[in-house]
Amino acid sequence: MVVAFNVTDGEQGGWAVLRVSGELDLMTSPVLRQRVHDVVAEGRHRLVLDLSEVWFCDSSGVGVLIATRRLLRSCQGSLRLILPAQGAADGSHVNRVLGALGVRRLYDVHPVVVSAVDGESRPLSA
């Protein structure tokens, strides 16, 4: 079975929103990396990555998430992730992977886009 990978671009509440679906792996992570760079190059430094429909994430996908955090931090931007406790199958795969690696705490995580774009935007700290 081939799972289609897709990244859709939107905006909500002054935040750029990239909705990602499918498998975030060695083959697809460069696509997300490029989309993030495009958003930042457009001068949009408040980014929500909606990962609620990502079914699989390997180390290259995690690498893109870490690079995205670093990039936004370098331009005093803000990054929020959508990682629902329940969702794709039995909970967010990305949530479990980031938790297992001990890096989930580095991210401002929300269950839905509405809560992510609501409230104050704080620049990312070290």
Contact (CB, 8 A) for 47 and 72:
yes
The pTM (predicted TM-score) of the whole model is 0.88
CA angle 101, 107, 108 (to 5 degrees): 145
Q: How far is it, in rounded angstroms, from Cα 103 to Cα 27?
A: 23
The predicted pLDDT at position 95 comes to: 83
Encode pLDDT of 49-99 as tens digits: 999 999 899 999 999 999 999 999 999 999 999 987 654 445 577 888 888
Least confident interval from 12-16, 64-68, 89-93, 112-116: 89-93
